[in-house]
Chains A and B, each alone.
Chain A
Amino acid sequence: MLGVRASAPLGFVWIAGYLATTLGMVAAAALRRKPILLKGSTLLALTLLFIVLSAAAAVDPARREAVVPLPLVAFQVVALGAAWAVRGRWLVVGADAAAVGATLERCLGMLCASFERAVDAYVVPLADGPLHVALRPALAGATLVTFRGATGHRKAALLRALLAKQFDGVVPRVKIGRSGE
């Protein structure tokens, strides 16, 4: 029989670790010279990992009980809800909406995709219905990118993949070989 008891200090350690990781990623992106893409799906994956690890750490097999830090549980619920809400959104740090829009238009041209401009969005007509790509200014010159519609259309998936390639990730990549050798 597994016992359960509440513990606050352990929970605050996990919360601090989660906040340090997520805010650290945004800060690292802001410090890079090139525009950096942060995906909501990555935040969701990170949040799920945080929940699994913190839940596993709460179980004390020696004492056959789970230490449940109530503030941590409350934080997990809020963090998971927030991460779920932004799972389909992107944040481009270091590029304003006009710059991201110009990049998006170049990608649409590469995909032979026609589009119409709305107030703060691009509407791409596709066979399964239109794809809406909204670009909204965020804090510190960043841009929030939201995709809506045409989720199953191959060209919509190609646009997302191609647009993502135009920006670096927050973690620098290992590079092998040099162009122009």
Chain B
Amino acid sequence: MARVEQSVVVNCDPQRVMEYISNVQNHPAFIGPLKSVTNLRGDAKQKGTTWDWTFVMAGVEFAGKSETVEYVPGRQFSFRTTTGIHSTFNYRLEPAQGGSRLTIDVDYEVPKTLLAKLQTSVVERLNDAEGQAAVQNLKAILDT
């Protein structure tokens, strides 16, 4: 199991930050390689809600599906990818310096199939640099 973790302090209250992040259709706005989120079936705050996603890297599109694992208002939003590589994205919030400390961590398994191995790079794309860019993008979007 591999892991990527990044955090940033956002000048915005945790409730608002979590409202924004738990709307998964906002994710293409702050995750560079994420092209689209479609077919959201229900409210992403509800456990088991699913959606489809498309990543783009080096001119290649990778598509897959995710589902909500956990949502705690103002504190945590987790979802996992359920096709190809299995990974869990976890967004955590805590009050800090008059705003919120946002931490993103991603756990993913080493895949066994060829397709899943190709999709590994999708999650690996969220490495330190990409993860740092994502949290800085969130800061730019949500800082008040």
Residue contact B65 to A179, C-beta cutoff 8 Å: yes
B residues in contact with A155, CB < 8 Å: 140-141
CB A28 to nearest CB in B, in angstroms, measures: 16
A102 at the interface (CB under 8 A from B): no
- Which size bracket describes the interface of A in this complex? 20 to 34
Residue contact A179 to B64, C-beta cutoff 8 Å: yes
Residue contact B26 to A177, C-beta cutoff 8 Å: no
CB closest residue in chain B, given A106: B25
Task: Compute the total of residue contacts between A and B using a CB distance below 8 Å.
Answer: 71
A16 at the interface (CB under 8 A from B): no
B residues in contact with A112, CB < 8 Å: 20, 141-142
**How does the 8 Å CB contact mask read for B100-144 relative to A, with 1 for contact and 0 for none?**
000000000000000100110000000000000000110011100
Q: Known contacts A112-B20, A155-B141, A174-B61; can you find 19 more A-B pairs with CB under 8 A?
A: A110-B26, A110-B29, A112-B141, A154-B137, A158-B140, A158-B141, A162-B29, A165-B35, A165-B36, A171-B59, A176-B115, A176-B118, A176-B119, A177-B62, A177-B118, A179-B64, A179-B65, A180-B39, A181-B65
CB closest residue in chain A, given B84: A177
Complex: how many Å from CA A161 to CA B34?
A: 11
Q: Which of A107, A111, A171: most chain B Cβ within 10 A?
A: A111
A5 at the interface (CB under 8 A from B): no
A residues in contact with B118, CB < 8 Å: 176-177
Complex: how many Å from CA A129 to CA B18?
A: 28
CB A36 to nearest CB in B, in angstroms, measures: 15
**CB-CB under 8 A for A165 and B28, given A155-B140, A181-B83:** yes
Stretch at the interface among B1-9, B50-58, B71-79, B86-94: B50-58
Give chain A's interface residues, CB within 8 Å of chain B.
Answer: 107, 110-112, 154-155, 158, 161-162, 165, 171, 173-181
Complex: how many Å from CA A69 to CA B36?
A: 47
A residues in contact with B142, CB < 8 Å: 112
CB A2 to nearest CB in B, in angstroms, measures: 39
CB closest residue in chain B, given A165: B35
Residue contact B30 to A177, C-beta cutoff 8 Å: no
Complex: how many Å from CA A178 to CA B84?
A: 10
CB closest residue in chain B, given A113: B141
Residue contact A177 to B141, C-beta cutoff 8 Å: no
**CB-CB under 8 A for A177 and B60, given A158-B141, A161-B32:** no
A residues in contact with B115, CB < 8 Å: 176-177
A residues in contact with B30, CB < 8 Å: 158
